[in-house]
Structure 1
Amino acid sequence: MTPTSAPDPTASADTAAAPCATLDDRITGSLVGAAVGDALGGPVEGWTPEQITERHGGRINGVVGPWYGDDWRTARPIAPYHKGDGHVTDDTLMTHALIRVYATVRDHLDAYAVADHLVPDLIATPRWIPELEAEALPLQRIFLAEKWLVARVHYGHVDPREAGSGNIVNCGAAMYMAPVGLVNAAAPAAAYAEALDVAAPHQSSYGREAAGVFAAAVAAACVPGATPSSVVDAALGLAKDGTRAAIEAVAETAARYTDFESALAPLRAAVAPFDTVGPDYRSPSLAARRPSRLHAIEELPVALGMLLVARGDFRHAVLGSVNYGRDCDSIATMAGAIAGALHGESAVPAAWSKTVAEASRLDLHAPARTLAEVAREVFVRDTERRRAHEAAFRTLAADPR
């Protein structure tokens, strides 16, 4: 089923971003769009497209309730989280936590900024957790792959640049890297490099690589006149090993489709050779999530594939990501962040963002305002640093004769 807002299949293969979209608008669109995608995907995370259709009587077209209805507090494997009804998940909680680090440092981040600011935020300051319907430490909501940050950095005193080694390799770091791409708006290579450093305490191997490539994709989406194809090209220009191969395979497949319904199975087939989790998402094999130069996380390639299928249309890309199932909250988070950066906040259905903000009891716009301020300050600092370097280099390179 193609959503009513899906692009006309006879139209151009790419929908360019509005050239007049401002930095503030793109940052808002990206962050609000990521939260909306997260909330829509949360209640069906872990299920297959067929199970989603059976449970909901068709494809999901907006906010839905918990998979197990009123039994969400006790039903396994979801309990005790209230996934659904517009509640954001840990993807958004971690994204907002990273923005708070930017608000404190007000410059580029590295692994030590994560150790000095993000980890203490997770373990010391209670926050409203929508899925728990209570105020709690973020540490009490995040999963084991994210708790790794606290165990390794805070308790293990591991060098932050190396702490990610040994963790399961998954999308845990990539899912909250949109702010890095936005601070480095229109500079994909810079976003990639910074995200690799920021992700170091959390992930290694292709999990860390995905964090860098996702940040680069968000930055590339901020380039005036960017298109889904230019975003994917930027990602491919930086991605390494299995991550690059997976994105390339999914992109080639996505080019043949214009609606997510017909693309669901082909996109899964395209990414499957690179995904270590296997066909049963809830029962990964013993070889799953181990370091490898041949493999990739599933979420980022599929998010980019859905962006291409949708020709950049936010609603189509996010709904395709949600109905894909498996780790669909993270897939929809990434697709929403990139599509929102391409087109600005107007691309995000206002009814969805209003519902998610009210249900989650979160101000989705305040983090965007903060990050836009920081991005401008960082750009000024970068300009000053670049000019100082240029002046020093000219002196060094001057012909003494």
Structure 2
Amino acid sequence: MNSSTGALAGAAVGDAIGGAAEGNTPEAIQERYGGFIQGIVPPFLADWRNARPIAPYHKGDGHITDDTLMTNALVEVYDTLRDHLDAYAIADHLVPLLIGEKRWIPEFESEALLLQRIFLAEKWMVARLHYGHIDPREAGVGNIVNCGATMYVGPIGIVNAGAPDAAYAEAIDVAGAHQSSYGREAAGVFAAAVAEAMRPGADLDTVIATALRLAKDGTRDAIEAVAEAASRVTDWRAGLSVLRAAVEPFDTVGPHYRAPARDARIPSRTKSIEELPIALGMLIASGGDYREAVLGAVNYGRDSDSIAVMAGSIAGALGGLEVVPQEWLTAVSESSRIDVTATGPVMASVARDVWAKDARRADVVAAGRSAYALIDAEAV
């Protein structure tokens, strides 16, 4: 339960701290905040209610964003089904949560449907699955390729704790309803990294090795390049540009995050999302330390909240809830009006039920194979 709570609370705290910096360069972040961000900060734009492109989102002040809202919704689906998920579970259960009931949205400071907060890439699922009745396994085709699916699949790693190959396969299936190409691939690799981090005896080296073993195409190349660069970084404060240079050949968004290149976010076998390799790089550069990895992700800028989610989730899974600073846990929970430690015990309970079902299924398979072997031997 401790690793489960560490993974989910660690992700939520990273999300809340990183939201304020999202979309900005390290230089702009340091100018705005008088140096590196060291914890929870106010919004980047003081007039966030009216200033584009932030309005109407209150990013900063410890508010969780859509990353955590989507993660919590996936936890609800797991809690309902108490079993492994697939693309059909997204269509039958997650999409109804997005459009069916209001809940507190910290960035709105009011209740609203999740649909009204999630980004266009997530609204795609509603359009394709609820209105278009597309086969859930193929619904992600045509969507922009980004980190949309990756940012919330941490629970898949928890339910497959210690079994990264199974986590990878389940996340690839689930993400098919949302993403294609390297966006889908990153979801599988991130879920596998969390599953490995949950394994007793795992460490950062085994997490990185697992990611490299399972990753395909440009995702693997990007992780390898950033990991190599990060191994030469002793302090992320001096290494932000080094990590950016390492991932840049694989990133389709381009140098201007708010103005993506024309060929951005389209399917490719040579490209990767930026967020996952950088999150792993920050973990390497910080030696797996939760606080430093999250702060490195936040001060990197660009998609800082999602990078911090991924780094925070893996660090939290490795170290447990105690590695997440208590002052951050308290402040984010109070500011967001949500207990960020509440989903961990839920997923731990779900995982125990799923593991019991997996054991029974394995017994059935073993019995069937034994019977087949007996029949085959008699036939001979």
Q: TM-score range by the shorter chain?
A: over 0.9
Which residue number in structure 2 is paired with residue 180 of structure 1? 156
- Are 1:296 and 2:272 counterparts? yes
Unaligned runs of 5+ in 2: none
Letter aligned with residue 316 of structure 2 = G
Q: Which amino acid aligns with 2:352?
A: R
**SS of match in other structure, 1:128:** strand
TM-score normalized with structure 2 length: 0.98
Taking structure 1 as the reference length, the TM-score comes to 0.93
The aligned residue for residue 374 of structure 1 is: 350
- SS of the residue corresponding to residue 176 of structure 2 reads coil
Aligned counterpart, 1:94: 70
Aligned runs of 1:2-401 on 2, under 5 Å?
24-69=1-46, 71-398=47-374, 399-400=377-378
The size of the alignment, in residue pairs, is 377
User: Using the alignment, how far apart are the partners of 2:236 and 2:229 within structure 1?
Assistant: 12
Instruction: Report the counterpart of residue 16 of structure 1 in structure 2.
Output: none
Alpha-carbon distance in 1 for matches of 2:148, 2:209: 24
Taking only the aligned residue pairs, the percentage that are identical comes to 65
Matched residues in 1 for 2:313 and 2:373: separation?
A: 43
Query: Deviation above 4 Å: which 4+ runs of structure 1?
Result: none
Give the partner amino acid of 1:212: G
Q: 1:258, CA displacement in angstroms?
A: 2.0
- Tell me how far apart the structure 1 counterparts of residues 92 and 151 of structure 2 sit (CA, whole Å): 20
**1:345-399 alpha-carbon deviations (Å, 9 max, x no partner):** 0000000010000000012122111111100000000011111111211221232
| CA–CA distance in structure 2, aligned partners of residues 348 and 271 of structure 1 | 27
Residues 207-257 of structure 1, C-alpha deviations (whole Å, 9 max, x = no match): 000000000000010111211111010011111000000000000111111
Structure 1 portions without partners, runs of 5+: 1-23
Three-state SS of the structure 2 residue aligned to 1:135 is strand
2:45 & 2:211 partners in 1: Cα distance? 38
What letter matches 1:306 in structure 2? M
SS in 1 for 2:48: helix
Aligned-partner Cα distance in 1 for 2:325–2:235:
19
Q: Distance in 1 between matches of 2:92 and 2:330?
A: 34
Q: Distance in 2 between matches of 1:223 and 1:258?
A: 27
Structure 1 letter corresponding to 2:167? A
Could you tell me how far apart the structure 2 residues matched to 1:60 and 1:93 are? 23
1:133 partner amino acid: E
Distance of 2:83 and 2:289 partners within structure 1: 32
How far apart in 2 are the matches of 1:77 and 1:239?
34
* Residue type at the aligned position of 1:27: S
Q: Secondary structure at the match of 1:72?
A: coil
What secondary structure, in the 3-state scheme, does the structure 2 residue paired with 1:86 have? coil
Segment of structure 1 superposing worse, 46-55 or 220-229: 220-229
